[in-house]
Chains A and B, each alone.
Chain A
Amino acid sequence: MPAKRDQDFFWEAVDRSELTAQQCSDCEKRRHPPAPACPHCGSQHFTISRLSGSGTIHSWIISCHPTLPDPNPKTVILVDLAEGLRFISNLIDAENIRIGAPVTVEFGEVNGRRLPLFRTVKNP
């Protein structure tokens, strides 16, 4: 059996359509990206915490192939999650892109892999 990676919990949760993060058992702060110890207090004890999936767009760019025609450019977003974490993802409804726009997580398949994506919400 291959060694378990620090981030495996995240992708296992994605398969269940859940967005999660490690939460420190000592200082109770959450962290992302995953790490073996709490960057706030150093504790190596943690639980897995389910996140609300709500947030706002902090910044964004368009990602397309640098040299080849790319019919499917991605709108890459940096999301401020409600729980105080930052997360990189894609905006599904790219036409509504706006810094500060409220978004919510929506799971989808991209290139055969299930990913947590985001969509803007009208009335947060």
Chain B
Amino acid sequence: MTGQAAITGIGQTEFTKASGRTVLSQCVEASTKAIRDAGLEPADIDGIITYTFDTNDEIAVQRSLRIPELRWTSRTPFGGELSYATFQLAAAAVASGAANHVLIYRAFNERSEARFGQPNANAQAADLEQREFYRGFGLNTPAQVYGLWYRPYLDRYGVTSADLGAYVVQARDYAATNPLAWFHNRPLTLEEHQASRWIVEPVLRKLDCCMETDGGIAFIVSFLSHARASTRPVVRILAAEQLWLHGSEVMYNYYQPDLTAQASTERLAANLWRASGLSPAEIDVMTIYENFSPIVPMSLEAYGFCKPGEGRELINSGGIGRGGVIPVNTNGGLLGEAYIHGLNNVTEAVRQLRGSAANQVAGARTALVTGRHCAMLLARE
């Protein structure tokens, strides 16, 4: 089913801390730009997909965009955990003929309205089952929930706060030269990272946490033969996968015997490499859904760029930086550019493959976009 779809359009709003406007208006702006970027008209769009956490009603979006006939809609469960699975479903929709051009969008006022980082404000996640086993005990924000999960890994491999800081400094180095980034022109030193206050002691400092952002992002996924009619470089979806092993939990993933292992992500990676026929050595640029810094070394290991426990060394030695063996989050990532629930790391992958990124990896032809439970491989034709 994969290999028959391409990302043909990208669009986004400005990234702000207080947009002062509705979420829907930002969704419509980003979507309009994505359709135009793909060289399409609203009448060409016949499918829509977003996250279940998104608040923009598909039919309201259809109305403002003037999409005459919507033939296919879907949503992926939760928020960031399956953010990139939207591309897996959109690719399947166009490959099956269920739709020709699918619009993917995500927009929110995550900083100025419902902040994920504040206790009890994450109303969209309140329907997760059995939060009473966590909230009353002080696991109220994603930083707290994930911080407890990261700790056994950090302890086992001796990953220090300064090791995590090395990633953050790298992300801010990329962001500093990315005009779209919130932290444009604002690089960071390791000393500044180490001086930032604890959000979750002894795991996450403030600067280890992704930022909170208002804004919207949209994409167009098209059937491959339609994409080839475009004047832009074709960014093909070689493979897109999601994976949950039995025993995993959404966010509160505390019940597997060995919490330092990443069984779901490792299986997901194996499936992705098999489906695409590629290997880590053939990847030119990578993005990681780094809602928090510890997931960066963990992902480098789970996706096979180094052995378990060696992610910190790969980061400290400059391996993910400019000219490194695997440049990661070259836009500054979710810590340096913006946090649009992971999707700004996809726009960066597309820009890299089009050759239009601010921190361009010379001649990039393959991009790996990763989360813990979803990922995709993109390639320039």
Contact = CB atoms under 8 A, between A and B. Distances in A.
A113 B88 CA distance: 43
Interface residues on B, range: 20 to 34
A65 interface: yes
Interface string A17-60: 00000000000000011100001000000000000000000111
Nearest to A74: B138
Contact of B152 (A58, A74, A88, A110): A58
Interface residues on A, range: 20 to 34
Given A33-B130, A66-B141, A88-B139, A61 B203 contact: yes
Given A74-B137, A88-B134, A88-B137, 9 more contacts: A7-B130, A33-B130, A58-B259, A61-B147, A61-B151, A76-B148, A88-B252, A99-B155, A111-B136
A115 interface: yes
> How would you classify the secondary structure of chain B's contact residues: helix, strand, loop or mixed?
loop
Contacts of B246: 39
Contacts of A61: 144, 147-148, 151, 200-203
A65 B119 contact: yes
B132 interface: yes
Contacts of B157: none
Given A66-B143, A67-B118, A59 B138 contact: no
Interface in A64-119: 65-67, 74, 76, 78, 86, 88-90, 99, 110-111, 113, 115
B130 A34 contact: yes
A90 B148 contact: no
Contacts of A34: 130
Contacts of B143: 66
B199 interface: yes
Interface centre among B133, B139, B143, B152 (most CB of A within 10 A): B133
Contacts of A32: 255
Nearest to A65: B119
A2 to B, nearest CB: 15
Contacts of B255: 32, 86
Contacts of A67: 117-118
B157 to A, nearest CB: 14
